[in-house]
Amino acid sequence: MRALIVLTLLAVLVMAATCYESHESMESHEYLNPFINRRRANDFIQADTRLEAISQERIRERNKAPQERQREICEDYYPCELYAFRHGYAAAYRHYFARRR
């Protein structure tokens, strides 16, 4: 019986030591109100400009410059790519693909 009382007392002491909230944990203003309203949460993000930037990038991906398209075509054909390392992509494209068009 004495051991049960000692174990219970020890458990209460351990619980009191681990569950104690110090003054430092209550210093933050988030302790009382951890959630902020929607307007304050969205103040730093402007969705319109972000979506506009994404759509502009998609448009740029679709409308590539002719030189970029020629370079990609040349990169896909290994002899043209080797020629481009020496003479440049414009010259390599003209050498391999200008006669076809």
**Each residue's pLDDT tens digit, 63-87:** 778 888 888 889 899 999 999 999 9
Cβ atoms of 63 and 85 closer than 8 Å? no
pLDDT of residue 47: 61
More confident residue, 29 or 71: 71
pLDDT of residue 28: 59
d(CA 43, CA 39): 6
Cβ atoms of 73 and 93 closer than 8 Å? yes
pLDDT of residue 46: 61
pLDDT of residue 29: 57
Cβ atoms of 75 and 97 closer than 8 Å? no
When pLDDT is averaged across residues 16-21 and rounded to a whole number, the result is 74
pTM for the whole structure: 0.40
Cβ atoms of 95 and 83 closer than 8 Å? yes
d(CA 96, CA 88): 12
Spell out the alpha helix ranges (H) of the chain.
Answer: 2-19, 38-41, 47-62, 66-76, 78-87, 89-97
